[in-house]
Structure 1
């Protein structure tokens, strides 16, 4: 099938009227869509909560460990000139 035939077939498909949707299918789709939206909202809230908890944990760790401060020397310098 060359390009002109594909374009012709696509035009023919687009010119047809879309098939009608059965009425009982509409209610099912709306119900499933509501479930999907609730699930997505809950997932998003949990992700934000996890991000917030990780941020708080990092800030608390940083305040307690103080990684920006140079650790104290473990050894004493040699005594000279006594």
Structure 2
């Protein structure tokens, strides 16, 4: 018996020996509920992240309009009066 044939025969023997384990009757409903819960969590997380990003952009826009960092700062000292 060659190597692949021996492996195949061993797998077949293991599958035939294995007894069928009972599957819970509500397995599909539980899987559906778990999947729906995961989707709700992902959607809530995505919404929270986008809300945070938009709030940050809004804060940056308000800050830049109030502070106007692109304009020249006011002079700190007065220019000298008269000559030297």
Structure 2 gap ranges (5+): 1-6
Map of 1:49 onto structure 2: 51
Distance 1:77 1:21 in 2: 92
Distance 2:22 2:39 in 1: 22
Call closer, same or farther: CA 1:53–1:68 in 2, change over 3 Å: same
Which TM-score applies when normalising by structure 2?
0.66
Which TM-score applies when normalising by structure 1?
0.67
Structure 1 gap ranges (5+): 1-7
Call closer, same or farther: CA 1:36–1:75 in 2, change over 3 Å: same
Q: Deviations over 1:16-62 (max 9, x none)?
A: 7xx88824222211111100001111111111111111111110000
Number of corresponding residues: 70
Map of 2:83 onto structure 1: 81
Distance 1:21 1:72 in 2: 80
Q: CA RMSD in A?
A: 3.0
Find runs of 4+ consecutive structure 1 residues off by over 3 angstroms: none
